[in-house]
Amino acid sequence: MDGNRGISAKGVETRILLPAPEPFDLRATCMSHGWIVLSPNRWNPSIEAFERVEELSSGKIVQLRVQQPDPEKLVVTALSADSLGETERSEIAQRVTMMLRLDEDLSEFERLCDRHPRWRARVPRGGGRLLRSPTLFEDVVKTICTTNITWAQTRTLVTRLVNAIGRPHPLQPEEKTFPTPQRITAFGAERLRSEIRLGYRANYIAKLAHQVASGELDLEELRAPHLSAEEVRRRLRKLPGIGPYGAATVSMLLGHYDELAIDSEMRAFVSRHYYQGRPVTDKEIYSVYEKWGKWKYLAYWFDPAGHSEPSGPDGRKPDRDRA
């Protein structure tokens, strides 16, 4: 990691250089998953950059901008009101690595794509990674916000949550962070319901936030490499508002792709493209992707059968079943 600083009337810009895995495609990683359009994330097409506002452990707020000037490196620019220390720069590097899955080995999935030309054409070299959040708490909350709702409504809920509870960047107050468990706990379930209009999700998110903020629950423990995918999903299903679909979705965000998050959209997709439109069972859905082994979820996500369908950065995920 390298760090350079520039000071201007607009604050302090810190530049951090990160090596990119080989192969890696920043745009493909960000645009392959709908999280890119959920606040505070965004893709800036004019400069080909991933951007978001982040609150560091020190309490400092930074505006992050990630770009890939060449295949071998990423440049992270952090805009802050004050200079950042080495610990804060390291934390930024760790969070960017987490969000972009820079340390995830997808070589086996790449080789499988090589054996299936239609998937190879769909997944660019350096693709296959799906954007995620820097904390599991944010990923779980956003997953709860996808249940029993349209994708457009999910985007609205998350935007309200960030705008109402997130901390503003001191130099760009209109830009806010994703709220911490502590801030959501202080906001309270009633206001989540009445002001953010989270509906039944309000109690789930308030309870989850309280458990994390109080130290009763450490979600990051679920990243432990010794935990099997099955054990991770078992623990996830114990979380407020997380059922089988939610557990499979969050498990995917943790890097476990062996289980499919079957919802109404996946069922309709498989029925339409593989079973002539007739109703399908879970077993029939699994049979379509069984040959992909532990990579089934990615095989579905990048299934070329749906490549011609309208999608964009949201993916083909307009509806979700309740957890």
Domain boundaries, position 54: 2-103
Cβ atoms 282, 268 nearer than 8 A: no
Tell me, yes or no, whether 253 lies in a domain. no
Question: Is residue 23 assigned to a domain?
Answer: yes
Q: Which helix (H) or strand (E) holds 3?
A: strand 2-8
CATH number of the domain enclosing 41 = 3.30.310.20
CA dist., res. 112 & res. 169, Å (int): 43
69 within a domain of the structure (yes/no): yes
Q: Could you tell me if 177 and 162 are in contact, meaning their C-beta atoms sit under 8 angstroms apart?
A: yes
**Does a structural domain hold residue 311?**
no
| Assigned domain for 193 exists | no
Rounded distance between C-alpha atoms, residue 94 and residue 304, angstroms: 33
- As for how many domains the chain has, the answer is 1
pLDDT 10s per residue in the chain (323 long)? 565 555 454 799 999 999 999 889 999 999 989 999 999 999 999 999 999 999 999 999 999 999 999 999 999 999 999 999 999 999 999 999 999 999 999 999 999 999 998 998 888 777 799 999 999 999 999 999 999 999 999 999 999 999 999 999 999 999 999 999 999 999 999 999 999 999 999 999 999 999 999 999 999 999 999 999 999 999 999 999 999 999 999 999 999 999 999 988 899 999 999 999 999 999 999 999 999 999 999 999 999 987 544 333 344 443 333 33
Alpha helices in 146-200 (DSSP H): 151-165, 181-187, 189-194
Please indicate, yes or no, if residue 16 is contained in any of the structural domains: yes
Determine, yes or no, domain membership for 205: no
Position 63 in a domain: yes
The answer to whether residues 43 and 313 touch, using CB atoms and an 8 Å cutoff, is: yes
